[in-house]
């Protein structure tokens, strides 16, 4: 809805919204005050209150304009979408911590990969082939695991986390193997 054609109606609607938004109940935040602020005059305070009330009850465009102005004010108060690296990083870190508490290695890996992508410019491009046969230690394996997903120069903390995640993965594979062995023994 555009600005009301009657300037006093528009000023009244604006003043009402301003009064409603105020958190200071000081007598200046009333429909009477809005009526007087809009440039209307009244012989008594009571007549100003009656006239303001009449405007609110009988002039539909004024009420519609007040609603529109309130919606606009609320829209300005709504939080903006924050997709900064910092916000995304904080949320991924929180998700990773939750996954770790739930002992969910797949979710942890997903979160860590997301963090790596956000902060180390890792893309979803085809990862380069890594030769694990040349690894001399678990540190080398952790480093190669991270490099296999595009983390070109992993730091020691990231490498240690990759080793721990790999250990969890290996434990899961061994559990599958043990379960399969138990089934073979039971059937024999």
- The tens digit of pLDDT for each residue in 20-47 reads 776 665 556 688 888 898 999 989 989 9
Which of 69, 90, 123 marks a domain boundary? Answer: 123
122 conformational bin, left if phi > 0, alpha if psi -120 to 50, beta if neither: beta
Which of 61, 77, 93 marks a domain boundary? Answer: 77
Instruction: Establish if 2 belongs to a structural domain.
Output: no
pLDDT (mean) for 71-76 = 82
How confident is the model at residue 161, as a pLDDT? 95
Instruction: Establish if 1 belongs to a structural domain.
Output: no
How confident is the model at residue 19, as a pLDDT? 79
pLDDT (mean) for 71-97 = 82
Is-contact 42 35, C-beta < 8 A?
A: yes
More confident residue, 124 or 173: 173
User: 130-134 long-range CB contacts below 8 Å, 24 or more apart?
Assistant: none
Please check whether residues 103 and 137 belong to one and the same domain.
no
The total number of structural domains that make up the chain: 3
The average confidence (pLDDT) of the chain is 84
Distance CA 163, CA 91 (A): 23
How confident is the model at residue 10, as a pLDDT? 92
- Segments forming the whole domain that contains residue 185: 125-188
Please check whether residues 22 and 53 belong to one and the same domain.
yes
Token duo for residue 90? 């904080």
Of 53, 118, 109, the closest CA to residue 83 belongs to: 118
């Amino acid at each position: 809805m555009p600005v009301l054609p009657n300037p006093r109606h528009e000023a009244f609607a604006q003043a009402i919204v301003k009064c409603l938004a105020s958190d200071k109940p000081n007598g200046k935040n009333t429909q009477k005050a809005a009526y007087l602020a809009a440039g209307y005059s009244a012989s008594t305070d009571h007549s100003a209150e009656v006239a303001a009330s009449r405007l609110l009850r009988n002039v539909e465009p004024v009420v519609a304009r007040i609603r529109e102005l309130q919606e606009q004010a609320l829209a300005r108060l709504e939080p903006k979408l924050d997709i900064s690296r910092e916000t995304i990083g904080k949320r991924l870190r929180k998700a990773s911590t939750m996954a770790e508490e739930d002992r969910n290695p797949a979710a942890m890996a997903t979160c860590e990969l997301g963090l790596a992508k956000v902060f180390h410019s890792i893309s979803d491009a085809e990862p380069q082939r890594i030769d694990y046969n040349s690894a001399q230690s678990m540190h080398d394996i952790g480093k190669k695991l991270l490099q296999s997903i595009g983390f070109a120069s992993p730091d020691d903390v990231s490498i240690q986390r990759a080793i721990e995640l790999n250990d969890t993965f290996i434990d899961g594979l061994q559990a599958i193997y043990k379960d399969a062995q138990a089934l073979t023994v039971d059937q024999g």
